[in-house]
Amino acid sequence: MMTFPDIDPVIFGIGPLQVRWYGLMYVLGFTATYFLVLKQIRDFSYKALEPYFENLNLILILSVVVGGRLGYVLFYNFSYYIQHPLEIPATWTGGMSFHGACIGCLAGGYLYTKKNKLDFWTCADLYVVTMPIGFALGRFGNFINGELFGRTTTVPWAMVFPGGGPLPRHPSQLYQMMLEGFLLFAILWFFKDRPWKKNRNWPHGSMLSFFLVGYGCLRIFVELFREPDQHIGFMFGVITRGQLLSGLMVLGGIILWKIRINQYTQK
C-alpha cells in the first residue's frame, strides 16, 4: 500500500482569499488549450478564426463553468438544489460535472460560431484535441483534494484517502488523469494530422466524434475502479451515473461520425 501524499489543497491565502491547487489546475488547463489551439491556427493558416479567437476562448471558458455547474445540479444532485436554488451559482462550494461542461462548451461554441459565420466543425476539431490536457490537470487537482477516490482494493498502489474511510482504495483520479487525459490527448493529437484516406483529410467534425467516443469509452472503463457518488450509488444496481452519461457520449460520437462521413462522401 502507498501513502497518500497529504498536500494542502490551499497553495496560499491572503485574508479570506485562497489560491487552491484545484483552481490552478483549471487555469493551467485553459492556458494549455489556448496555446495549442493558437499553434494549430498558425500551422494550418485558419485565418478566418484569428479575429475571433480571443472572444471565442472567453465564451468557451464561461460555457465550461456554467455547463459544468448546471450539469452537476441536473445530473447529480437535482433534488437538493431544487430545494436550495440560491446555492446553484456557488461553484466555490464544489460540484462540477464533466458531461455538463462538455454540453455547455459545445452549445456556447456553436452559438458563437453561428453568429460570426465560422465553421463550427473546424473550430470544434481545433479545440477538442487539446482539451484532454485540461482533464488531466483537473483530475490531478481532484487527487490533491483527496476527492473522487476509487473503490476499495488490495493492489500494491492502493491508498487510504482522508475522506474514504480506513480501507485502501484505487487512486482512480490518477487513472483518469493518465487515460482520459494524457492517453486521449496523444491519440487525438496523432490522428489530427493523418490523412483519412490517400490524399483526403478527415471530414471536419471527425476529431469531435473521436473525442466523444474515446472519452466515453475510457470513462466507462475507469468508472469500474471509481467509487460511485454516495447519494446516487449504482443505477439499476449495475452501472454508475458517469457510465450512463458516457455511454450516451459514445452513441452521440458514433452518430456524428456517420453523419459527417455521409456528408463528406456525397460532396
Q: What is the mean pLDDT of the chain?
A: 91
The pLDDT tens digits for 36-60 are: 999 999 887 788 898 999 999 999 9
Amino acid (one-letter) located at 61 = I
Q: Which helix (H) or strand (E) holds 264?
A: helix 241-265
Q: Which phi and psi (to 5°) does residue 5 adopt?
A: -75, 105
**Grid cell in block for residue 15:** 485574508
DSSP 167: S
pLDDT at 195 over 80: no
Residue 210 pLDDT: 96
The pLDDT tens digits for 210-243 are: 999 999 999 999 999 999 987 788 888 889 999 9
The pLDDT tens digits for 137-181 are: 999 999 999 999 999 999 999 999 998 999 999 999 999 999 999
Average pLDDT of the residues in 66-74: 93
Question: Number of H helices and number of E strands within the chain?
Answer: 10, 2
Average pLDDT of the residues in 84-96: 82
The answer to whether residues 71 and 104 touch, using CB atoms and an 8 Å cutoff, is yes
Residue 266 pLDDT: 63
Does the annotation place 139 within a ligand binding site? Answer: yes
Amino acid (one-letter) located at 129 = V
Rounded CA gap, 3 and 227, in Å? 19
Residue 198 pLDDT: 66
